[in-house]
Structure 1
Amino acid sequence: MTDLTDLASDRAAWRRFRRLWSATATSNVADGVLMAATQLAALTLTRDPVAIAVITAVQYLPWLLLSIPMGTLADRVDRVLLLRTASATRAVGAGVLALGLATGHVHIVMLYGLAFVFGVAETLYDNTSSALVPGIVADHQLERANGRLLATYTLANSFVGPPLGSGLFALAVAAPFAFGSAGYAVALVLMFLLPVSRRGPADGRKPNTFLQDLREGIRGFTGSRMLIALCALFGVGNLVSAATYSLVSLTVVERLGAAPAMFGLVLAGGAVGACLGGFYGDRVGAFTRPGTTLVWTTVVSGLATAGIGLVDSAAAMSALMALDGFVVMTQSVIAASLRARLIPDRMLGRVTAVFRTLATGASALGAVLGGVLAKNLGLSWPFYIGGAIFVVLGPVLYRWLSNAHIAAATPGKETDPVELT
C-alpha cells in the first residue's frame, strides 16, 4: 500500500514538474530567438560596434548587480508568483519592441532599456525556477529534473532559438519579437497550472527584514565549506571555459586552417554532448557516488580540453567538444542536485544566487586571461593550461567533496511549512 502511495505521489510530483519544464522550454526558446534578433535589430539602428556591444553588456548587468537581491526575493515571496511576474514582464517588453519596430518608432536607447528589463526578468526567473524545483519533485527525482532543465536550456538557446530568430527577422524585422512575446505569454499561461503556496516562519516568529534575509543568505553560503568547494569547482570551470571557448573560432580558422563554416560543426558537437549529458547524466552519475562523479567528470573534462589544443582537424575538435559537453553537463546535474540538498528550502533562492554570482563572475576574467595567454604563448596554450588545471582540481577538491562528507552533510532536507491554494 505504501509503495502504491509513493508511486502516486511521484507521478503527481513529476506532472507538476512537467508544467514548469514546459514553461521553461517555451521561455528559453523565446530567449534564444531574441538573443539573435536583438543584435540584428541593433544593426538597423547603428553600425557603431561599441553601441551594439553595450546591448549585451546591459543585459548581463543585472546578474552582477541584482542576482543576490533577486535570490533573496525568491525566499520571501511565492516563487510561482515571481515566475509569472518575470514571464509577464518579458511578454510585455518583447511586445512593445515588436510594435515599435513594426511602426518604425525605435531608438537605440529603447533597446538598451528593454535589454536591461529582459536581464532583470531573466535573473529573477532563473534564480526562482532553480529554487522551485526541489519543492516540486521528490528528492530522488532531483537529478532527473535538473538534467531535463539543463538540457532544455542548451537545446533551446543553442539549437532552436537563434536560427529561428534569424529566420523570422529575415521575414520581418518585428516578427521575432512578436514570436518571443507570444512564447513568454504561453509560459505565463503554463505557470498558472502550478499551485501557489503561502510560506512563513515555521514557529510563527516575526519575519526578517529584506536586508536581514540577504545577509543570512550570504552567511549561509560562506558558512558551508562544501558549498564553497562546489563554487570553486564551477568558478574555475567557468574561468577555464571562457578562456578556451572564446578562442574556438580562431582555433578553427587560424590553427586548423578550416573554413569558417566548420566553426558551426565544432559548436554543434559541444551542444549535442551537453544535451545528451542533460538527458542521461543522472543515469551515468548513478553508477558512481556523487563525490566520485564530480572528480572523474572534472578530470575527463580536463583531458578533453587539453586534447582540443592538440588535434589537427575540426572533426576531432568537434568530438572532443561533445565529450567535454557531456561530462560537464553530467557534473552540473549532480552538483545542482547536491546544492539543492545542502541548502535549506527557506534559503535556497538567496544562497544559490550568491553561488551563481561568484561562479558566473569568473567567466569575465577567464575570457581576458585566455586572450592574453593566446597572444603571448599561442592558441593551443590556453587549452593545455586549462586542461591541466582541471586534471589537478578534481582530486584537490575531493578533500571537501568526498563521498563521506557528502553523505554526512545531506542526511535530510529542512523544509518550511507550505500551504497550497
Structure 2
Amino acid sequence: MAEAGKEGGSFAPLRLPVFAVLWCATVLGNIGSFMRDVASGWLVTDLSPSPTAVALIQTAATLPVFLLAIPAGVLSDILDRRRFLIAVQLLLAGVSAALLLLSRSGALTVELLIVLTFVGGVGAALMGPTWQSIVPELVPRAQLKNAVALNSLGVNIARAVGPALGGLLLASFGAAVTYGADVLSYVFVIAALLWWRRPAPAADEGLSENFLGAFRAGLRYARASRELHVVLVRAAVFFLFASAAWALLPLVARQMLQGTAGFYGVLMGAVGAGAIVGALVMPRLRARLDADGLVLLASVLTAVVLGALVLAPPQWLAVLLLLILGVGWITALTTLNGVAQAVLPNWVRGRGLAVYLTVFNGAMAAGSLGWGLVAQQIGVRGALAAAALGLLVVALLFHRVRLPAGDADLQASRHWPEPLLAEPVAHDRGPVMIQIEYRIRAEDRPAFLAAVRRLAPERRRDGAYAWGLHEHTADPQRIVEWFMVESWAEHLRQHHRVSQADADLQGEVVRYHIGPGQPEVHHFLAL
C-alpha cells in the first residue's frame, strides 16, 4: 500500500479505481440486502401476527454475527480475503434465490423465513470483519480515515435507498421480485471482486498464524484491553435498548400507523436518510462534543423518537421521527466504532473489531427478542415506552464510564532486540518464559512497581498468558519481571506487536534501572 503525504479531501479515495469500483459494488450489494430485509420484515407480518415472530426475524439476522464474528475475524486474517469474500457473496445470493423460489411458489413459512434469515446472517457475519480488513489494502495510509468514512456513507446511502426501493417493489410486484433484485445485486459485487487483482501478501517469515492460535491471540488481547472493555460495555447498553426501534418497527408501521408495505419501506428509508444527514453534520458535532457527549446525544435522540412513537403520530410525523432516529443511530454507531478502531493496533484490528461486532450484534439480537417478548405481554406501545425510559436511564448512568481518547500511538515500534540463540529454535517449541532482570534502588521501588505493573496488560495483550514479579532473596534490588508465551513463534510475533505507546511505557520502567547497560533479558524453553 502506497503512502501519501496528504489526505486529498473526503472523497479522495474514490479517485482510486479499485476502491471506487468496490465501493460502488458494495453500495449496490447493501441496497439489495436492505430490500431483502424489508421484504422479509413485512412478509412475516403476513405469515404471523405474533410480535415474537416478527422480532425473531431481527434476532435471526443478528444472532449469527454474535456467534461467528470472532471466528470470522480470524478467518479474515489467515485466508485469502478476496476469495473468501466471493464465497460469502455466493452463499448470500443462494439465500435470496431460495427466498425467491419459496415466495413465488407460496411455500414460504415463518419457520423457513427464520432459517433462511439466519443463514443470511451467517453470511453477513463472515463478510463484516473481512470487508473492513481489506480497506487498508485499497487506499494509501493517509486516506484510510476518509475511506472508512466513505464506507459508512455508502452503507447509509444504501439504508436510505434500499428500504424505500424494496417497499416499492414489494407493494408493486411482490416479494419474489424484491428477492430477485437482491440476487442481481450480488452479481455486481462478485463481478467487482473478480475484477480486483489483489496483490500477493508480503512474506510472513514463517510466522503466519493458524486458526486456533490466532483465535486465542485475539481473545487474549480482548480480555486484557481495558480500553476495549469500556467501548464494549458502552455499546452493549446502548444497542440493547435502541434495538427496540428495529424489532418493533414493522408492527408500528402496520398496526399503530395503519401503513402499507410501501410506507414501511419509506420509514426504513427515512432512517437511512437521517443517517446520511447525521454523517454530514458529524464534523460540527465532534467540534463541540467529545465521544461521551456524542453517545449521550444519540441516546437522547433515540429515546425521544421511541417515546414519540408511543403516541401513534400521523404518518408524516412518523417519517420525520425516523429521520431523527437515523441521526441518533449513525452518531452512536460511528462514535463507538471509531473509538473501537482507535484503541486497536493493526495486527489485531480485524479480531478486535470482530469482538466489537459480537457485542453489537449480541445486544441487537438479545434486545430484539426481549422487546418482542415484552410487546407480547404488554403491547407494542408499552414496549416502546419501556425502551425509551430504559435508554435514558442507562445513558445517564453510563455517561460516567468515560470512553478512551484513542490517541495512543499504536504503530509497531520494533525496538526489541532479536533473542540470543545457541542454535535455531523450532517455532512450535514452547511454552516460553521470558525474564527481564532490573536493579532498582530502595527509594525508587514504589514508583518502579507502580510503573512495571502497568506493563502487565500490555504483555498479555501482545501474547503472554501469565505475568509476574519476583525479587531476589539475597539482593532485594534485583527484581525479575517474567511472562509466559505459548510458543517460540508467538514470542517472535510479540516482537512485531509492541507499539510505540508500549515502548514509551517500557522506557518509563527502564529509567529506574541502575545496573550497567539495559536490563538483562533471558529466554527459557520448556523441556
Task: State the TM bucket, normalised to the shorter chain.
Answer: 0.7 to 0.9
**SS of residue paired to 2:147:** helix
Task: State the partner residue of 1:94.
Answer: 96
- Post-superposition offset of 1:382: 3.5
- Asked whether the 8 Å contact 1:285–1:334 carries over to 2, the reply is no
Task: Look at both structures and tell me which one has the larger radius of gyration over its CA atoms.
Answer: 2
Gaps of 5+ in 1: none
Task: State the partner residue of 2:290.
Answer: 293
Deviation readout 1:293-340 (Å, 9 max, x if unpaired): 311212222333454476575677765654453244134334434433
* Alignment partner of 1:284 is 2:284: yes
> How many residue pairs get matched?
401
Residue pairs, 1:199-214, within 5 angstroms: 199=201, 202=204, 204-214=205-215
Alpha-carbon spacing, 1:11–1:389, altered in 2? closer, same or farther (3 Å): closer
Deviation readout 1:346-368 (Å, 9 max, x if unpaired): 32222211221122212344342
CA distance in structure 2 between the aligned counterparts of 1:328 and 1:107, rounded to whole angstroms = 32
Residue pairs, 1:110-125, within 5 angstroms: 114-125=116-127
Alpha-carbon spacing, 1:293–1:134, altered in 2? closer, same or farther (3 Å): farther
Task: State the partner residue of 2:344.
Answer: 343
Alpha-carbon spacing, 1:114–1:260, altered in 2? closer, same or farther (3 Å): closer
- Post-superposition offset of 1:61: 4.1
When normalised by structure 2's length, the TM-score is 0.62
CA distance in structure 2 between the aligned counterparts of 1:247 and 1:93, rounded to whole angstroms = 24
Task: State the partner residue of 2:216.
Answer: 215
- Post-superposition offset of 1:238: 0.1
Task: State the partner residue of 2:68.
Answer: 66
- Asked whether the 8 Å contact 1:293–1:331 carries over to 2, the reply is no
CA distance in structure 2 between the aligned counterparts of 1:12 and 1:153, rounded to whole angstroms = 15
Q: Between the two structures, name the one with larger relative contact order (CA 8 Å, sep ≥ 6).
A: 1
- Asked whether the 8 Å contact 2:240–2:366 carries over to 1, the reply is yes
- Asked whether the 8 Å contact 1:294–1:331 carries over to 2, the reply is no
- Asked whether the 8 Å contact 1:297–1:328 carries over to 2, the reply is no
Gaps of 5+ in 2: 415-492, 497-527
- Post-superposition offset of 1:16: 3.3
When normalised by structure 1's length, the TM-score is 0.76
CA distance in structure 1 between the aligned counterparts of 2:27 and 2:73, rounded to whole angstroms = 21
Alpha-carbon spacing, 1:11–1:35, altered in 2? closer, same or farther (3 Å): closer
Deviation readout 1:140-186 (Å, 9 max, x if unpaired): 54443333333432442454246426625743653233322211011
Letter in 1 for 2:81: R
* Alignment partner of 1:397 is 2:401: yes
Letter in 1 for 2:393: A
Alpha-carbon spacing, 1:286–1:94, altered in 2? closer, same or farther (3 Å): same
Task: State the partner residue of 1:384.
Answer: 389
- Post-superposition offset of 1:214: 0.9
- Post-superposition offset of 1:210: 0.9
| Correspondent of 1:37 among 36, 39, 59 | 39
| Correspondent of 1:133 among 109, 132, 135 | 135
CA distance in structure 1 between the aligned counterparts of 2:247 and 2:48, rounded to whole angstroms = 23
Root-mean-square deviation (Å)? 4.4
User: % of aligned pairs identical?
Assistant: 20
CA distance in structure 1 between the aligned counterparts of 2:98 and 2:387, rounded to whole angstroms = 43
- Asked whether the 8 Å contact 2:164–2:268 carries over to 1, the reply is no
Letter in 2 for 1:300: L
Task: State the partner residue of 1:304.
Answer: 301
Task: State the partner residue of 2:330.
Answer: 329
**SS of residue paired to 2:337:** helix
Letter in 1 for 2:337: A
Whose helix fraction is larger, Structure 1's or Structure 2's?
1
